[in-house]
Amino acid sequence: MVNAQRLKQNLEEISKFGALEGGGLTRLAFSKEEEMAKKYLINLAKNAGLEVQVDGIGNIFATLKGSDSNLPPVATGSHLDSVKEGGFYDGPLGVICSLEALQTIKEKQIPHLRDITLVVFSCEESSRFNHATVGSKAITKKLNLSNLKEIKDKSGISIYQAAKSCGYDIDNLENQTLKDNQIYAFLELHIEQGPVLEAKQIPVGIVTGIASPIRYELTLNGRADHSGATPMSMRKDALVCASEIIIAIEKCAKAYKTAVGTVGFVEATPGVLNVIPGSARLGIDLRDICKDDLIALDKDVTNAIKQICSNKDISYELKELSRSFPVKLSEKIIKTLENEALNLGIKTLNLPSGAGHDTMNLDCAASHIGMIFIPCKDGISHNVKESIKIEDSVLGANLLTKTIITLSNEV
């Protein structure tokens, strides 16, 4: 159904923005590399005859008009930003497959009642600001202008400033937010970012739910002393305290069936060989697909931090960066995907997503939300070795296209 060669070519071309010599790419949110990728995508959309708009946070909306624009639209898309030294497919695959779906529907003159909109969300990754899915949160009122001014990167630049520097009308953002049920259905195609589909040799996954994170920045305040002159019994080593907390978080997460706990970064100060670390800063990420277990894990981790710091006589500050809970995806879309896959002869597997996605923030703005997964080699993602089979992406794009057609013709 879709044009496989065009899909492959567009993926290759958009992968050039931020590409690294050794493979993979770095395309952080609001960077010049992401802005170039966005401009490339906008040109593709306009050349395909789509109507393009960009909002105050840099989200792109490219629309194929239906015969009844009074009906709430069907939307599909993902993101173009990446983690540092990431892969080519986390985000862009969903964007390019969604664009290909709209181009196919337009070129084949397939009738559809509802408008169909490609959405490219800004700042999905947390690599720059330690805050994920910013674009989708902003348009669903889960982040406001005050929040966007407070959240800053390591250089002290806020999301508000970064968006402003790219020329986005962020001061008008609150007039561009989505109302409840303003979208009829939203679908996102994405790489799995895990090993299940490849291990089972299944080309397409149908997502049943999305795990969501609780994230913290933990600052530990000990005392910097001479590494040779300070006895072990008299030290207040912030990095030793951090190490015990890291191990405790791993232990806490393992106590639950599907929970995961990660310390993604540790920064020790002053960070020199012959000085005991006086302070340490940690990034903590807790996730689960079960809400009750996530709440329990959060309590276990915060209690462990309190106890360890007390034992080590280390003061601490635990700053909550974000708190969201698992989202169940729409049974209606799951069933529609299953039916369309059966009609297309595509083998699928229903599975949850351990990673967060923009889709989870549209649970109120869209009446129905769903996701399609494509396998990635060895389950590797957020890594320059991220890899897919193009034939899997074509199957996913075909399923996406057929499902969009069905949803866009429902009354």
pLDDT, one tens digit per residue, over 378-392 is 999 999 999 999 999
DSSP class of 203: S
13-25 confidence digits (pLDDT tens):
999 999 999 899 9
Q: Report, in angstroms and rounded to the nearest whole number, the Rg of the chain calculated over CA atoms.
A: 22
Lowest mean pLDDT among 109-118, 205-214, 292-301, 364-373: 205-214
Q: Do 24 and 40 fall into the same domain?
A: yes
Q: Do 126 and 143 fall into the same domain?
A: yes
- pLDDT value of residue 272: 95
- pLDDT value of residue 186: 98
> CA 224, 226, 231, 237: dihedral to nearest 10 degrees?
30
Q: Does the pLDDT value for residue 284 go beyond 90?
A: yes
CATH of the domain at 85: 3.40.630.10
Domain, as residue range, for 151 = 4-211+326-408
For range 3-7, the mean pLDDT: 98
- pLDDT value of residue 356: 87
Q: Do 282 and 380 fall into the same domain?
A: no
For range 212-240, the mean pLDDT: 96
131 annotated as ligand-binding = no
CATH of the domain at 295: 3.30.70.360
Q: Do 235 and 260 fall into the same domain?
A: yes
Q: Do 158 and 44 fall into the same domain?
A: yes
- pLDDT value of residue 324: 83
- pLDDT value of residue 405: 98
215 annotated as ligand-binding = yes
- Confidence label for 335 from pLDDT (cuts 50, 70 and 90): very high
Distance in angstroms (rounded) separating the CA atoms of residues 151 and 129: 7
Query: What is the chain's mean pLDDT, rounded?
Result: 97
Question: Domain boundary at 323, 341, 363, which?
Answer: 323
Q: How many alpha carbons lie under 13 Å from residue 56 in its C-beta half-sphere?
A: 20
391 annotated as ligand-binding = no
The percentage of the chain sitting over the pLDDT mark of 70, rounded to a whole number, equals 100
Cβ proximity of 330 and 369 under 8 Å: yes
For range 231-256, the mean pLDDT: 98
- pLDDT value of residue 261: 97
- pLDDT value of residue 166: 98
Distance in angstroms (rounded) separating the CA atoms of residues 58 and 63: 16
Question: Domain boundary at 272, 300, 323, which?
Answer: 323
For range 335-346, the mean pLDDT: 98
- pLDDT value of residue 355: 87
- pLDDT value of residue 313: 96
Cβ proximity of 120 and 60 under 8 Å: yes
Q: Does the pLDDT value for residue 79 go beyond 90?
A: yes
186-212 confidence digits (pLDDT tens):
999 999 999 999 999 999 999 999 988
Cβ proximity of 390 and 8 under 8 Å: yes
For range 144-154, the mean pLDDT: 96
Q: Do 170 and 48 fall into the same domain?
A: yes
Q: Do 300 and 342 fall into the same domain?
A: no
- Name the nearest CA neighbour of 53 among 73, 67, 70: 73
**Residue 270 has which token pair?**
């002053």
The percentage of the chain sitting over the pLDDT mark of 90, rounded to a whole number, equals 95
86-123 confidence digits (pLDDT tens):
999 999 999 999 999 999 999 999 999 999 999 999 99
- pLDDT value of residue 322: 85
Q: Indicate the number of domains in the chain.
A: 2
Q: Do 341 and 315 fall into the same domain?
A: no
Distance in angstroms (rounded) separating the CA atoms of residues 19 and 87: 9
- pLDDT value of residue 276: 98
Question: Domain boundary at 277, 296, 323, which?
Answer: 323
- pLDDT value of residue 114: 98
274 annotated as ligand-binding = yes
- Name the nearest CA neighbour of 105 among 61, 74, 79, 80: 74
Q: Do 126 and 247 fall into the same domain?
A: no
Q: Do 118 and 223 fall into the same domain?
A: no
Q: How many alpha carbons lie under 13 Å from residue 305 in its C-beta half-sphere?
A: 23
- pLDDT value of residue 369: 98
Q: Do 223 and 301 fall into the same domain?
A: yes
Q: Do 19 and 57 fall into the same domain?
A: yes
